Chains A and B, each alone.
Chain A
Amino acid sequence: MKNSISRDIILFISFLIAQILLTNFIDFGPLVFISVYPLYILTRPRHINNVISIASAFILGFLTDYFTGSILGINAAAATLLAFAQPFLVKFVIRKDSNEGPLRPGIAEIGFRRFFIFLLSGLILHHIAIIWLENFSLQINFYSFLRILISLVLNFLLLTMIEFGIFYKNLR
């Protein structure tokens, strides 16, 4: 138990640092926003209390906002939404009772195909939330759509590589 908590805290800090480094030191241009922290929120182990999960996601998003100089609260709101939706996504993709299911919804536990669907749906939710909050309206114009699409592809590839390279390899 103590081990898993310390593991969680280490993951939290490393995702935060990765997010800050990627956003602050590499300029991807206006059409792309890189977000790494969705992987952390999406692959939270299922035995963690929902309230703790949502609160920690909020803190993670807030710190991301604070250190990357974006509009304060935009990543916090999106991260909170993602953390709130994560149990439903897990249920939707894995189609099993969450008690019987794997503890951590990663590649190693639920397989490639399911993980891709899981990650993609989570990322779409997150990106649309970000764009909605940025424009502060529910309409999505062509520019925003392009932005969602390109960021989605890049983030999806990036997060799949992280998941595959770091978590999947280490567990095998």
Chain B
Amino acid sequence: MPATDNSAGKMGAATEGTRASERLALLTADNASVPLPASVQAITAILLAALLIALPWLGLGYRFLSIAITTIYTAIGLYGLALQFGQAGIMSVGHAALMGIGAYTSAILSVQLGWGFWTTLPFAMAMSAIVGGVIGLPTLRVGGQHYIIITFCFCALFVIVLTNGGTFTGSATGLDVGSVTPLPGINFDKLSNNYYLVLAALFLALAATYLIGISRYGRTLRAIRENEQLARSVGINVDLHKLGVLMVSGLFAGLAGVLQLYYLRHISPTLFGAFPSLYLALMVMLGGARYLYGPLIGAIIVNFLPEVLNLDPVDSRIAYGVCLLLVILLLPGGVSAGIKNIYCAIAGGSEGQGGGSNGRA
């Protein structure tokens, strides 16, 4: 990964009007750690929030809104994955299983004890966080690639346990739940209200990701990502931070899982198996794990691509694969990196010394 100073230097060079090859290098540079000016950040956030809030009124239809809900709860799970991979550098290909832990905890509490959405939510999130931490224990001992295989094994194991769990987990057919317990005056059976519920959770996830990113905690995580031994030698408790970020990631996954459960009203083991997990990893890389809006962009691309291109499932999977290859080869930082670089190139070109180079906080 290019260091901060390196990419800032490239940006400065581009403002003086440079050759095409350097412009290409500019577009493919990974400059996640160079913040944009505060005004640009604020405007993006407000525009995005306004667009998302206005979405149900744009008259795009029932199907569009359903896909939007799917996209958003997926994105919430992705923010957890982006936190552990983008900030702390711990990749997992078993993340759907963590969402499944949350969803199944909530469903089992609801089936066995008759609890509603709001009561089960904290338990489900806590359960996902605890399991996330426990699966994370091997990261203290083994390297990244071993951990990836371990998470994949865990995911496969989870599906087997659910399938063999008898009536407690509903076996292969899964479990059903009722609708979200209505708040005074708000009935979540209405699709647009369900959308706002999921959207509120997304805003929470975004806010948490942003705050962690600018906090001392986030900086510590990035230090561990870049050089674990150096971080350890300056007195950072690496083990505690690694487990901590995996547990926070588990919280996001639990929230996403419960939202998924109450949107679908029915869950089965295959929703949380190896394929959904791989797709989560794919989405987070596609969008860009180190960018605030990266996971959301990744989820939007993967969920809406088949709709936009009007493809059948087989072709759309092939299209995902091709997109992924192109993104990794041309934009190793994800689509968000490309968008940010294009913005920097335009802003830098028109204002002389504007753009990303002066906004370093």
Is chain B found bound to chain A in the same assembly? no
Chain B residues close to A by CB (< 8 Å): none
Interface residues of A, Cβ cutoff 8 Å to B: none
